[in-house]
Structure 1
Amino acid sequence: MASIRYETEAGVARLVIAQTDKLNAMTFEMWASLPGLVARAEADRSVRAIVVTGEGERAFCAGADISQFGEKRDSQQAMTAYDDVFARGCAALAGAGKPSIAVIRGICFGGGFGLAMSCDLRLARNDSRFRIPAARLGLGYAYEGVRMLVTKLGMGPTTDLLLSARIVAAEEALRLGIVNMLWTAERFEREVCEYLAQVSSNAPLTLNAVKRAMIELARPEAERDVASVEAAIAACFASADYLEGQQAFRDKREPVFSGE
């Protein structure tokens, strides 16, 4: 059954997109479940980072499950509802107070591309491929989606990806900033585990303050809530973790942070 499976281990919540027979294409119901899954990870004090990944080796996510379009996108009202549930799912990851990281193997197309770009970071295997095929399907690409891509990739790469609908190989994706880190299949699992362990061992309040700043910087300048960033930074300096970090430095040991 198509679903997004929720797992936790070692301070990391994993949202596993599971519909392998369709290259992990996302159904309407899967998009709708995303905000609740992100909220679950946010509420779990043991979780320091949220990972989104696809089940199996062939795909991160091939995009929306097109087999549902006849039912879910057959009228203006239905299309609006579908676009809204997609936007809310992506916004939940982009707006999470904890870092969100896409771990990508294989195909990352369409809605899967948008989902990955909604995460703070993207770690990919070097056989991954990326594409926004809207122009080959006759779909209108949402304004907010275009704005987000321009913010993260720039005007030129975004225009190219949307107008050409071409497939981008992993090495070019790294150059364009679509992915942040890229490893061979032999190194991928080990490197990803080490990177996630590094992130999840850091001070939670500092991670939250960084994420708060990134969220505000992604907004138009007139809409930014700088006070919320300053409050998050102040919470770091008032925390027990700040004292722990200093003591661990003096003791030449690894800090053990509690998030308090």
Structure 2
Amino acid sequence: MSNELYIEKNGAIATIVINRPQKKNAFTLAMFKELGALLDELETDKNVKVLVVRGVDETAFSAGADISEFLEVRFSAEKAKKYNDFALESIEKLYRFSKPTIALIQGLAIGGGLELASSCDFRFAAENSKLGITAANIGIVYNLTSTKRLYNLIGLSKTKELLYTAKLISANEGKEIGLIDYVYSSEEIEEKCFEFAKQIIQKSSVAISGMKKVIQSVVDGENEESEAISEIILASYCSDDYKEGIQAFMEKRKPNF
């Protein structure tokens, strides 16, 4: 593993740190592959209840893919397909991660960087952040999966506007259109993000993990409970968390999950 991506842990909160500030945290192909490996590691870590993704400092969340390597790794249809498959596989792992995910955005979140942020459950952004998808500036077509994800967040006309103009918008404008959940000053953003994460880890991980799967089924277009979803719901009634939650309620105390 390189030091361009690394994991920090604070109790039940894990953070994937993007550490390439000299390149505004732009992702190389190798970094996309490494991201997938880190997500696999955290997916199986039972001590982790929430994942935060962030840049190493206020320089950038991520300016997207490193265009300087495109002539080598993405300059034909065949190479582009291999590149896109690797990148989208890791982004999809983040989107399907079984535990709650939060993007902590400072500075730039552009292109693949905004794809990463949009794949998280929540997006916290500093007021001075800039967001955008700039594919139209270099003549490539934005992929369907990420376009649909963007559309689900901000709707049809705003998706077209961001993609057609390739403009960068402010964090506050992002919040107005539904792209960003919370905006804070650069001095507050980290504290507020981790306060939110700490609220989540105090709750039942059985309930949250199950509800994330149910919500994802709704997003994926399911209108009726599948057998798998029904099993997840019913299994929660047999869990230790359920027993502790009921006992805590009866004893008028906070549950210890």
TM-score, normalising length: structure 1? 0.93
Secondary structure of the structure 2 residue equivalent to 1:185:
coil
What pairs with 1:145-164 in structure 2 (closer than 5 Å)? 145-164=146-165
Q: Aligned partners of 1:200 and 1:120: how far apart in 2?
A: 15
1:230 match:
230
Deviation string, structure 1 residues 32-56 (Cα, Å, up to 9, x no partner): 1222211111111100011111111
Number of residue pairs the alignment of both structures matches: 256
Secondary structure of the structure 1 residue equivalent to 2:25:
coil
What pairs with 1:15-164 in structure 2 (closer than 5 Å)? 15-164=16-165
Q: Aligned partners of 1:188 and 1:51: how far apart in 2?
A: 13
Query: Within the alignment, does 1:170 sit opposite 2:171 as a pair?
Result: yes
Q: Aligned partners of 2:69 and 2:181: how far apart in 1?
A: 32
1:189 match:
190
Secondary structure of the structure 2 residue equivalent to 1:115:
helix
User: 1:186 offset after TM fit, Å?
Assistant: 2.8
The 8 Å contact of residues 97 and 212 in structure 1, kept in 2 or not, is answered as yes
Question: Structure 2 counterpart of 1:99, which letter?
Answer: P
Mean alpha-carbon deviation: is it higher for 153-162 or for 224-233? 224-233
The 8 Å contact of residues 212 and 228 in structure 1, kept in 2 or not, is answered as no
Q: Aligned partners of 1:173 and 1:52: how far apart in 2?
A: 18
Q: Aligned partners of 1:55 and 1:120: how far apart in 2?
A: 20
User: 1:225 offset after TM fit, Å?
Assistant: 6.6
Mean alpha-carbon deviation: is it higher for 186-195 or for 97-106? 186-195
1:255 match:
255
The 8 Å contact of residues 4 and 15 in structure 1, kept in 2 or not, is answered as yes
Q: Aligned partners of 1:189 and 1:19: how far apart in 2?
A: 19
Question: Structure 2 counterpart of 1:115, which letter?
Answer: L
Question: Structure 2 counterpart of 1:138, which letter?
Answer: G
Taking structure 1 as reference, are residues 250 and 185 closer, same or farther at Cα in structure 2, changes over 3 Å only?
Answer: farther
Question: Structure 1 counterpart of 2:253, which letter?
Answer: R
1:180 match:
181
Deviation string, structure 1 residues 195-220 (Cα, Å, up to 9, x no partner): 11111221111111111012212224
User: 1:100 offset after TM fit, Å?
Assistant: 1.5
User: 1:253 offset after TM fit, Å?
Assistant: 2.8
Query: Within the alignment, does 1:246 sit opposite 2:251 as a pair?
Result: no
Q: Aligned partners of 1:244 and 1:39: how far apart in 2?
A: 29
User: 1:90 offset after TM fit, Å?
Assistant: 0.9
The 8 Å contact of residues 104 and 190 in structure 2, kept in 1 or not, is answered as no
Q: Aligned partners of 1:170 and 1:117: how far apart in 2?
A: 13
Taking structure 1 as reference, are residues 26 and 2 closer, same or farther at Cα in structure 2, changes over 3 Å only?
Answer: farther
Q: Aligned partners of 2:37 and 2:218: how far apart in 1?
A: 25
Q: Aligned partners of 2:226 and 2:176: how far apart in 1?
A: 31
TM-score, normalising length: structure 2? 0.94
Q: Aligned partners of 1:33 and 1:114: how far apart in 2?
A: 16
Q: Aligned partners of 1:64 and 1:141: how far apart in 2?
A: 13
User: 1:126 offset after TM fit, Å?
Assistant: 1.3
Secondary structure of the structure 2 residue equivalent to 1:82:
helix
Q: Aligned partners of 1:250 and 1:124: how far apart in 2?
A: 40
- Unmatched 5+ residue regions in structure 1? none
User: 1:189 offset after TM fit, Å?
Assistant: 2.2
Question: Structure 2 counterpart of 1:7, which letter?
Answer: E
User: 1:2 offset after TM fit, Å?
Assistant: 6.0
Q: Aligned partners of 1:249 and 1:180: how far apart in 2?
A: 31
Q: Aligned partners of 1:2 and 1:41: how far apart in 2?
A: 17
